Every structure is written in structure tokens, then in C-alpha cells.
Amino acid sequence: MKVFVNGKFYSEQNAKISVFDHGLLYGDGVFEGIRAYHGRVFKLKEHIDRLFYSAKAILLDIPMTHQQLMDATVEACRRNGITDGYIRLVVTRGAGTLGLNPNRCSNPQVIIIADKIQLYPPSLYKKGMEIVTVATTRNHHNAVNPAIKSLNYLNNILAKIEANTAGYEEAIMLNAEGYVAECTGDNVFIINGNQMYTPALSSGALHGITRQTAIDLVGEMGIPTSEPNLTRYDLYNADECFLTGTGAEIVPVVKIDERVIGNGKPGPVTKKLVKAYKELTKVNGEPIAKR
């Protein structure tokens, strides 16, 4: 595997950064997870846009332009023979002192890894997933804003640990007010009648790229989306439920906290959405092969 680090490609064994990098010491940095399908990098511009938004929010200057990052991401896929896979783009604060002060860091590190990923067992996509609500509260906006896709992911990891310990793959996280925010790595949606609902971004949900794609695709089916405050009651009594995420794609949910959702099987709208999403990935994205 060839890994991009600051403008050059290195072997997996030689792709290194300093142990004094604040990305390692303090989780001080930002990242993006991006997918490649059918020889194209899906929604690449949107992912790079979000990376720059996250970086701006933490006063981190990315030492590459938007276009340079897009080109480097495509090149990373090309160098690794990736036509269908997963790209992790990371920007750290850079090496500094053992103190917190980010102003003592120099040379932000840009890292791009193009590889494969499998978040959930294939059977869950066919049968649907069972999930559980956990006690770990989603970060407050005035703490670490959930809109920032930062390297400090401990909030999500703690919730994931709770889910795994309870025997589940994924978990619902509530915000400080008790409303549904998102899952540990995915946005959550429900369908009731001819209406789709998802937590508002202000609830603590990530500005998901796949989230917006789902809203757009379902809208094309004539189903509008609203973003109210949702409680677990709303989820329990939904006709359908599914999760979205770049790594996860679209995953049906058939049971939450032991409450069966709908008829206990992936719903018709969810199935249509999965099909429409797969069709979109065939034609949308930056081509990997040189023109």
C-alpha cells in the first residue's frame, strides 16, 4: 500500500509522523472518510468542502488547496489500484510540545490512505440491524461541536463500547436535552407514512454527506423530509428506520431497544433508497483513471 503524506507517497511501513504530533497527543486535527465506487470517488468535492469547514472551525490551516486535495485523493486511489474502496483523509495540527498550545505546532500533516472497509456484516444489510440507546450523551455544541469531524472521536467510541458490551453493532446517542442526535458513526432516519424525518443538525447530528444524499434521493421519490426534535418514542413507532454514513452506506434498522420497527423487516422506502443510492454511485464522482 502507498500512503500519501505531505505531498509524497510512502510504503505503509514508511508512512510516519512525529510522536509529538498533536493529532496523536490530543486528537487535534480533522478527517474525512470518502468512498470510491466503480472507478469514481463519490461526492469528493462535498467531502473536501466539509474538511475545510472542520479545519476552519478549529483554526487549522490546511497546507494544500481544495483542488490539490482532490487531485491527491484521486492519485492515492490510482496508486493503490482502488476502484471500489474507502479513503481516509487526515489533517493533523503537526508536531509541537507536550503542552496543549497549538501555536507551538508547526507543519500540519496531510495524510491520505486508500484501502478497503467493511463496517458491518453483509447479513445486516439484508435482514436489518438491531440497535440500542446508550447512556453516553452526544457532545454539547459548546464543548466539541458535533459538526466538526475531528480526530477527537472519544465521545463516539465510548458510545460504541457501550453498544458492543451490550451485544449490539450500533447505538443511538441522545443529546443533552434527551433528543435523538445520531448513532456512533451514522445519521439516523425514520419513515412514517409519506414523510421522512431525521434529527436536525442542531440536535448534534453530523452534517453527513450520505445524509444529504438520502434526503435528495427520497425527495425525488416524492417523499419530503423534515428535521424536528425526535425522541425515542418517535423511533419506536416509526414505519421504517435506517442509518446512513459514508462507510456504512445505508443500513436498515428493524429493532431499537427491543422494540420492533414496522413489521421487523427492511421497509419499502428503505429498499428503494438503497437501490437509488447504488445507481447514483455508478455515475457520480471524480474519475480515478487518467483521462
Question: Do the domain assignments include residue 290?
Answer: no
Strands 249-256 and 240-245: antiparallel
Residue 41: partners with Cβ closer than 8 Å, 6 or more residues away: 34, 35, 73, 74, 77, 87, 285, 286, 288
Confidence of residue 128 (pLDDT cuts 50, 70, 90): very high
| Boundary-marking domain end, from 81, 115, 149 | 115
Same domain, 147 and 91: no
| Boundary-marking domain end, from 62, 92, 115 | 115
| Boundary-marking domain end, from 115, 138, 155 | 115
Same domain, 12 and 137: no
Return the pLDDT at 291.
66
Same domain, 277 and 138: yes
Question: Do the domain assignments include residue 83?
Answer: yes
Q: How many domains does the chain have?
A: 2
Return the pLDDT at 246.
95
Cβ neighbours around 115 below 10 Å, total: 15
Catalytic residue among 2, 43, 149, 160: 149
Cβ neighbours around 123 below 10 Å, total: 9
Please indicate whether residue 149 is annotated as part of the active site.
Answer: yes
Same domain, 96 and 131: no
Res. 132: pLDDT tops 80: yes
Question: Do the domain assignments include residue 289?
Answer: no
254-273 pLDDT, tens digit each: 999 999 999 999 999 999 99
**Which residue range is the domain that position 208 belongs to?**
122-281
Q: The CATH number of the domain where 109 resides is what?
A: 3.30.470.10
Query: Which helix (H) or strand (E) is 272 found in, with range?
Result: helix 268-281
User: Average of pLDDT values for 126-141?
Assistant: 96
Question: Do the domain assignments include residue 288?
Answer: no
Res. 119: pLDDT tops 80: no
Return the pLDDT at 185.
94
